[in-house]
Amino acid sequence: MTRNPGTDLRTDGFADIRINTPAAERRAATLPARRSLKKDHQAAWLLNAVRCIDLTTLAGDDTPDRVARLCAKARQPIARELLDAMGVTGLTTGAVCVYPTMVASAKRALGNSGIPVASVATGFPAGLMPLNLRLAEILYAVEHGADEIDIVITRAHVLRGEWAALYDELRAMREACGDARMKAILATGDLKSLENVARASHVAMQAGADWIKTSTGKEGVNATLPVSLVMCRAIRDYRDQTGHVVGFKPAGGLRTAKDALNWQVLMAEELGRDWLRPDLFRIGASSLLGDIERQISHHVTGCYAAGYRQAIA
């Protein structure tokens, strides 16, 4: 996978962006109604969503054992008998996502499964620590084995239109990441306007983000389809401008199997099927997996499932 090297800061890449919010909302609202997935196709799309999940725990009471349980679920996200019934093997989530101090525990628990560990960093979720500390936090996570770093941007730079400042901090973070791939969390619920989301997306991509990500999960509004639509179009425009390919990660708003399908339809329709692979598409979620497993169980057995019969994360 070729990484996005970024470019110099080029404000002309996004200065003329016009986004009509009602139109974006209309597109987002009609997209799920335009595509329907049934039976085996639905099962395949749901399992694909599992492949793309960054199975996440970002709570104040996280412990090494709790993280280990999460990792066990990441290795066997859907009950083996259900997968066997469908002839699917080797299914894991896309990654697990934890705080920096939990990276080592996660690495240990995942062993040689090949599942990457993602760590949030840079003063997650507010990102208002001094820059040197935020960079040090990235280095700490990388040192403990993180394969991917989910950084947060300084929202103030976007709200104040300080693109150079935003670009510079993101560039520094990307350098600190080294070989670890970087997801830039825009915290779109704080940016509010869709044009802000689009501009911040472009700056993050120009600074070399491998994925752009909607939310920390801690804002008032997290991933929504209209915001995701705008970010996908920014990814498309950046590719058209530079030839570089960037991934997308919605986080914090996806809870149901239907959500998982809707977001995948968005990716397929707006960006194409390449963006249905875990190297270009991740879903930041914790409870989503449970609902997908329920749907899969129903697909295989024809009976509705009870939550207590499924392994929890």
- Interface with another protein includes 285 (CB under 8 A)? no
Distance of CA 276 to the CA centre of its chain: 12
Residue 125: asked if its preceding bond is cis (omega within 30°), the reply is: yes
Assess contact for 260 and 292: CB atoms under 8 A.
yes
> Is 150 annotated as catalytic?
yes
- Which of 73, 107, 183, 213 is catalytic? The answer is 213
Cα–Cα distance between 126 and 154 in angstroms, integer?
8
DSSP percent split of the chain into helix, strand, coil, nearest 5: 50, 10, 35
Assess contact for 204 and 14: CB atoms under 8 A.
no
Q: Could you say which residues in the range 121-160 bind another protein, by CB under 8 A?
A: none
Within 10 angstroms of residue 48's Cβ, the number of other Cβ atoms is 17
Cα–Cα distance between 206 and 201 in angstroms, integer?
9
Please, what is the minimum distance in Å from the beta carbon of residue 104 to another protein? 32
| Stretch of 68-76, 113-121, 169-177, 189-197 contacting another protein, by CB under 8 A | 189-197
Cβ proximity to another protein: between 28 and 177 the closer is 28
- Interface with another protein includes 269 (CB under 8 A)? yes
Cβ proximity to another protein: between 67 and 227 the closer is 227
- Which of 150, 190, 210, 291 is catalytic? The answer is 150
Cβ proximity to another protein: between 129 and 221 the closer is 221
| Stretch of 140-148, 210-218, 220-228, 285-293 contacting another protein, by CB under 8 A | 220-228
> Is 218 annotated as catalytic?
no
- Interface with another protein includes 239 (CB under 8 A)? no
- Interface with another protein includes 233 (CB under 8 A)? yes
> Is 192 annotated as catalytic?
no
Please, what is the minimum distance in Å from the beta carbon of residue 236 to another protein? 8
Residue 135 phi, psi (nearest 5)? -70, -40
Distance of CA 225 to the CA centre of its chain: 14
Helices (H), 87-224: 103-110, 131-143, 155-159, 163-177, 188-191, 194-206
Among 15, 36, 113, 175, binds another protein (CB under 8 A): 36
Cβ proximity to another protein: between 100 and 189 the closer is 189
Distance of CA 63 to the CA centre of its chain: 23
Among 226, 247, 252, 284, binds another protein (CB under 8 A): 226
- Interface with another protein includes 12 (CB under 8 A)? no
| Stretch of 20-28, 69-77, 207-215, 303-311 contacting another protein, by CB under 8 A | 20-28
**Close Cβ partners of 288 (under 8 Å, ≥ 6 residues apart):** 49, 53, 254, 255, 256, 257, 259, 260
Within 10 angstroms of residue 26's Cβ, the number of other Cβ atoms is 12
- Interface with another protein includes 35 (CB under 8 A)? yes
Q: Which pair of structure tokens corresponds to residue 162? A: 């300080």
- Interface with another protein includes 18 (CB under 8 A)? yes
So which residues are the catalytic ones? 150, 213, 249
Q: Which residues contribute to the site for another protein (CB under 8 A)?
A: 18-27, 30, 33-41, 43-45, 47-48, 51, 86-89, 189, 192-194, 221, 224, 226-227, 233, 240, 268-269, 273, 276
